[in-house]
Copies of this chain bind each other. A is one copy, B any other.
């Protein structure tokens, strides 16, 4: 399996995983691509094609075993395990994310907090003591952090990310509204909430309706 998987496919895997989790809770045993597609507003062919990149998980004439497919999806997405996540920047957004239960529910555990504000360093948020940003690289290494969430002002984000990369972290979720440079082996995702509002304002002004909802 050396074919490049598209970003859209990966996002849809998350959707499938979520739908399957719900189905399992509803005690549904098998599900067809048709039903799965309906639940996530996709086409059955799309569902089957996405899954086919990773193997043949279904049974002709019957569909997919909900529990089994969910487990497969979690393996493919890498969420069949726990992740140690560090959060940098304990401002508005940062504080909210520390308390955001959805992350832990999916196995993403925020276990380190960093800030540069002396008043925040040493303080306790949800049982985690805030570390000094000065020790970022050292502590990320020591604690085997694999994913970092950056929630600092745009002006300092690049410096922070340089340190994060130096610490060997390969996955970064960035909330600062700025285009960050990272080496090609690092996966960077941007969460730019203003851009989403701008999308909406574009839609309203131009009477535009998106084909697919992300």
Number of interface residues of A (CB under 8 A): 70
Q: Which of A43-51, A94-102, A132-140 is the interface stretch?
A: A94-102
Q: Which of B7, B11, B13, B193 contacts A100 (CB 8 A)?
A: B193
Q: Does the CB pair B10–A202 fall under 8 Å?
A: yes
How many copies of this chain are found per oligomer? Answer: 2
In the complex, chain B residues whose CB is within 8 Å of the CB of A15: 179
In the complex, chain B residues whose CB is within 8 Å of the CB of A108: 194, 197, 201
In the complex, chain B residues whose CB is within 8 Å of the CB of A191: 191, 193, 196
Q: Is A23 an interface residue (CB 8 A)?
A: no
CA distance A9 to B37 in the complex (A): 26
In the complex, chain B residues whose CB is within 8 Å of the CB of A79: 198, 201
Which residues of chain A from 177 to 214 have a CB within 8 Å of any chain B CB? 177, 179, 184-206, 208-214
Q: With contacts A100-B92, A108-B194 known, is A83 near B188, CB below 8 A?
A: no
Q: Does the CB pair B197–A40 fall under 8 Å?
A: no
In the complex, chain B residues whose CB is within 8 Å of the CB of A172: 200
Q: Which residues of A contact B (CB under 8 A)?
A: 4-5, 7, 10-11, 13-15, 17-19, 39-41, 76-79, 83, 85, 92-93, 95-97, 99-100, 102-103, 105-106, 108, 146-147, 170-173, 177, 179, 184-206, 208-214
